[in-house]
Amino acid sequence: MAREPEALIVSPPVIFADAFRGVSLCNDAIRLVAIAEAVTEDGELTAMISGQIVMGVTAALELRGKLDQLLGQLEARGAIQLPRGKPQA
């Protein structure tokens, strides 16, 4: 009897982000560039690109819904206060 191949388990990369820069459209995908703060050998704080996320529209909408839910939970705990009203342009 043939044995099924075992699934390859790969740990996805972890992207640390203190900020996002370069948020843009790339064809029909959204591209986010994550920036992390790091300390140099001289002890100075510097910003560096820690990774990129490229996602299609469906993934972006799913992420938006989950972020809205998580931000609502943080607000309910009193950890943050979300702005109300129309966003400023």
Per-residue model confidence as pLDDT tens digits over 25-36:
988 899 999 999
Torsion angle of the four alpha carbons 65, 70, 76, 77, in this order, in degrees rounded to the nearest 10: 180
Give the helix/strand (H/E) hosting 21: strand 19-26
Local confidence band at 3 (pLDDT 50, 70, 90 cut-offs): low
Range 23-47 average pLDDT: 91
- C-alpha–C-alpha distance, residues 68 and 54, integer Å: 20
Residue closest to 29 by CA, chosen among 57, 51, 53: 57
pTM: 0.64
Average pLDDT, the chain: 87
pLDDT at 7 exceeding the cut of 80: no
The domain locations on the chain are 19-76
